[in-house]
Amino acid sequence: MGCLVVKYFFLILLFFNITFASTLESLLKEYEDTSKESLETLNEKMGYAIVYSQKELKLMQYNRLSDILKELPILTLNRSKHGANNLSLVGSKAETSGYFRLFINDHEVSSTYTQSPFLNWYDLPISLVDHIEVYYGEGSFTLGNETGMKFIRVYTKKGTKQNGGNLKTTFTNRNSNSQEMSYSDFLENDWSYFAYFANQKDSFERYNKNDDLGANSKRQYFFMDFSNSTDKINIGYNSTKQDSYQGLSFDSNSDDGKSNSENFYINYSKFFLKDKSLKLQLSTDIINSKYEESNSDGLAIVGVTGYLGRFIKSYNENTQLIEKSASLSKNFNYEKNNLFTAINVKNSRYKVKNRTINNATEIGALSSFDEETSYSIAFQDDYKILDNLVLVGNFKFEKYLRNGNMDDSNEKLYRIGAIYLPTKDLGFKTFYTISHVPPSFYDVDYAYRSNPKLASQEYKYFTVEGTYTLNKSKFALDYFNVHIDDYIYYADPIGFINVDHTIKINGFIFEYIYNLDRNSKIQFNYFVSQLTEIKNNYTDGGYLKYMQDFGNFSYFASVIYRKGFEYTNVDFRDSYELSLGASYTINKNLTFSVKGTNLLNKSTQSVLRDYTTSYTNPNIYLIDDNDRTISFSMEWKF
């Protein structure tokens, strides 16, 4: 029934706009208008890319980064057992994902502890953002130190583009609300600044055994950009306080618990030479985290008990992580080829201030591995064989120095590819990449006690993408094939292990964009995939989006689809997250918006496991990841 409603809704919208649209312009004209913010930053040589322009971010009323993450193809955004949303690859459900990289401008904000950015940054406010680029494939050849499978780059607003202040407030029927404030201005000597602050309060509740599972949270964000034509200073801060939700409890029903995390970073970028081809980057990150939880049925902590007992009734943790990094890169541009080189160094330190169980017993560090220093050197060369054919080659060498029970290691990354444009309307891209993702402090802390020396995961990634434009339409088809060796997997009840066989994933992503005119667009995306493992998450899905701007009035409609599946005799239903929204600008300074999310109340689902009666055969329940929500916003510019 839900699918039928969505189908007819979009048919009505399509008929209305085809009938009454006054002018239709070409796809290239539309791109020039809506994506010009990212033309200077988009890197086609990094593989399959998705761009969210400033105009699309506004028309679709994306309020937070999670609104975008949930619709990305071959990925699923689920709620973790700690209550935070976490992005997972197709067919797998991960509590933390160490193979995604999130950048705010030049700086990566992924956690030093887990290598995942989503615990603190998945709800980054979009009011801070100018545009977003998502890359499918290894991006560390040209972006930062850390390797990964997917790279998300958020570009913030700047004082050179914004002038004056902005206030925005949002509240929902779910007792959630947010307040945002920004201000920007020009300073002397070519300098400008942009300052931003946001406060979020979110309510999320589920029930297990008639008990409340709370994942209520409070978040604060602060960001400041000082920049001129050659220098850029970014300062970022995030504070997250959240209920423990299921937490570490055996019965997935924590009696009480909360986490508190504070992230601070400062990043400095400097361009040298007249053509700005030489770039220096320095950064420091400090992450302070506290976690506490109590449960009468016991807490499962691999590093302490190996799940052999349930004597732990309470757990407290206080940690600090400090990361320092530096990089120097240089571009060499010639008539036929462009060469990029970079050297990087990074040091990460992990300190346990205290870790206790049962309110008294100090257990300290779970592993002796608490410091890592990495050095890397990277090269990229793209050579133009013909005017319409470019070959791309990458090489990166990394050396990791680790203390404690972890060995040092050397890693080599390779990528070869080609970009071919046989006609002005037809283009192809293909890449083959060999990369790796090293184990994190978190992986080693909770590794299988009999073999805590985890190896790096090796990824072999092959993609072919074809794109065709015809008048107002764009068609794109991407094939991907991934082989993963030594995959780091959390195996209940023993902890993290390296899987002893190759995991294989392959599939297709299809995208169609139809531009009715410069102010309205329909976008359809669908993906199918298969993997060699037993799937415990969605493998097929897509989205359908429509957006329209009528001067002072704009509206949108979208549905995000995930095809249901069966896991251990439990049926995950098809997911249809239907969203509708409209905005009205009273004058150039005041805008009101209303938005409905998950209106069919058929969001994705996650598993709740109850090990009270049996750890080898737990009771399994399904919990919806998202609520049906109506939100109202007011934005005032001054």
Mean pLDDT split into 10-residue runs, the chain, 638 residues: 44 40 36 47 75 94 96 92 86 82 92 87 95 84 75 91 90 96 92 96 82 86 96 97 88 88 97 95 96 89 62 92 96 92 96 91 91 95 93 94 94 93 93 93 90 92 94 95 93 86 96 92 97 93 96 95 93 97 93 97 89 76 92 95
Report the domain count for the chain: 1
> Could you please report the per-residue DSSP string of 466-524?
EEEEETTEEEEEEEEEEEEES-EEEETTTEEEE-SS-EEEEEEEEEEEEEEETTEEEEE
Name the residue range of residue 609's domain: 2-637
Task: Note the pLDDT of residue 422.
Answer: 94
Q: What is the CATH number of the domain that holds 56?
A: 2.40.170.20
- Contact call for residues 348 and 113 (beta carbons, < 8 A): no
Q: How far is CA 407 from CA 43, 425, 477, in A?
A: 35, 51, 42
3-class DSSP state of 311: coil
DSSP codes, 544-592: EEEEEEETTEEEEEEEEEE--EEETTEEEPPEEEEEEEEEEEEETTEEE
pLDDT at 145: 66
pLDDT number for residue 17: 43
- Residue 294 identity (one-letter amino acid): S
Count of Cβ atoms closer than 10 Å to residue 510 Cβ: 15
Taking CA atoms, 41 is separated from 106, 132, 184, 468, 513, in Å, by 11, 10, 22, 22, 22
The predicted structure's pLDDT at residue 207: 77
Torsion 607-611-615-616 (CA) sign:
negative
pLDDT at residue 209, as a whole number: 67
Pairing of strands 85-89, 75-79: antiparallel
Q: What is residue 305's predicted lDDT score, i.e. its pLDDT?
A: 58
d(CA 633, CA 534): 43
- Dist CA 329 CA 344 (whole Å): 9
| Single pTM value for the model | 0.91
Say whether 280 sits in a helix, a strand or coil: strand
Whether residue 177 contacts residue 169, with contact meaning beta carbons closer than 8 Å, is answered with: yes
Q: What is the pLDDT at residue 10?
A: 44
